[in-house]
Amino acid sequence: MGHIVLLGDSIFDNGAYVRTGEPNVVAQVQARLPGGWKATLCAVDGAVTTGIWPQIARAPADATHLVVSAGGNDALRHSGILREPARSVAEVMARLADIRDEFARNYRAMLDAVLTRRLPTALCTIYDARFPDPDEQRLVVTALSIFNDVIMRECFARRLPLVDLRLICDEPDDYANPIEPSATGGDKIAAAIAQVVAGNTIFPRSQVYAR
């Protein structure tokens, strides 16, 4: 029997954002798993990449699969750069490069720690969010591509499955607010997780070839 552990942030720990009576992501994952399987929430709302270590320590000893959604709050911490003045495009790119390098170091170290459990592990990208102002939304999606590039590189380099939340949460109703998943979005996330960990091959998959 399988035991899935969800690590990361409010993409999984979204109970505070769904409407009263609606299920959170871990409940939705549980509902989609085969009989006898179970899901445990170790993710914590607001966690950044460097905050995943305590979650790894809390993961149950009988865990069989880990799913990680981390990086959105790291991006949120740096969101002020979108409003900073700059003298040139080169200055902006250099600042973004510094942010990317810091995130890459933190994400790589976090993933190294997760993989010490020697369990099948899947990673999630950071979804595009849903801001009402089209101009702000455009800037956010562009900035997030820097963080998602790090996640995808680490994922593919280690030959891990990737749950691309950008393609899963692609409708306004998938969001409870600009940055948190609703019960509708959560159910779509849960379906993808169940497909990855339970080996559901009904749907076609993309494959990435890397060294």
Per-residue model confidence as pLDDT tens digits over 10-55 = 999 999 999 999 999 999 999 999 999 999 999 999 999 999 999 9
In the chain the first and final C-alpha atoms are separated, in Å, by: 33
- pLDDT confidence tier of residue 194, bands split at 50, 70 and 90: very high
Calpha distance 111→49 (Å, rounded): 9
Instruction: Please determine, looking at this structure, whether the domain spanning 3-197 carries the CATH number 3.40.50.700.
Output: no
The dihedrals phi and psi of 40, each to the nearest 5 degrees, come to -125, 135
Could you tell me the two tokens for 54? 């305590």
Say what percent of the chain tops pLDDT 90: 86
Structure tokens at 105: 């170091």
What mean pLDDT do residues 48-67 have? 97
> Residue 188: what pLDDT?
97
- Domain coordinates of the chain in residue numbers? 3-197
